[in-house]
Structure 1
Amino acid sequence: MISANEYFNGQVKSLGYKSETGNSTVGVMEAGEYEFGTSTHETMIVVEGEMAVKLPGETEWSTYKAGSSYQIEANQKFQVKVANQTAYLCQYK
């Protein structure tokens, strides 16, 4: 079954689904700054656009463009900034 998710007053929307590799969401972020929390290990793949990310324990922001990815362990918080609409695929383990 496909689930619809909405965060930050509709600024981030995603569709959740389950595939052979596990649970995933595919979504879009509007321009803005966000802080997310994880409950499981996540691999975030930028599909279109780009995002600046401050990962847990880091002091510097890193930019991830379309086709690149980053990982966050379970029970962590991380910050994301996007200048334009940005699409992503998030895979959970």
Structure 2
Amino acid sequence: MSAQFEQVSVVKKSNIYFDGKCVSHSIVLADGSKKTLGVIFPSTLTFNTGAPETMEVVGGVCKVKLAGASDWTTYTAGQQFQIGANSHFDIETVETLDYVCHFG
């Protein structure tokens, strides 16, 4: 996983969810693919997906429970997990989590 993205356009307005517990910015790469870069502050949240997503943990630790799963899985920096389209997942953070969300 690369430490940075080259040749991107950045949407200036931030995406703020869950009363500021999750803040991200959208980027568009030269090939047209879209991603969000953000942070999730300590909390337990439920996210819904439209498109398939891959969540890449850049910093911090989180526990995730995917739709239909009965157990939580822990992810740390350098790891990632996939979520299907039109699904949801629960995420719990006890420290600030830096992430990249890859769509599609």
Aligned-partner Cα distance in 1 for 2:41–2:24: 12
Higher relative contact order (CA closer than 8 Å, sequence separation 6+): 1
Which structure 2 segments of 5+ residues have no match?
1-9
RMSD: 1.0
Q: Runs of 4 or more off by more than 6 Å in structure 1?
A: none
> Which SS does the other structure have where 1:60 is aligned?
coil
- Using the TM superposition, name which of 20-29 and 40-49 deviates more: 20-29
In structure 2, what residue type is equivalent to 1:89? V
Percent identical pairs in the alignment equals 34
Instruction: With the length of structure 1 as denominator, give the TM-score of the two structures.
Output: 0.96
1:26-73 per-position Cα deviation (integer Å, ceiling 9, x unaligned): 000100000000000000000000110001111000000000000001
Q: Which structure is higher in strand share?
A: 1
Which structure 1 segments of 5+ residues have no match?
none
Instruction: With the length of structure 2 as denominator, give the TM-score of the two structures.
Output: 0.86
Aligned-partner Cα distance in 1 for 2:84–2:56: 15
Count of residues in correspondence between the two structures: 93
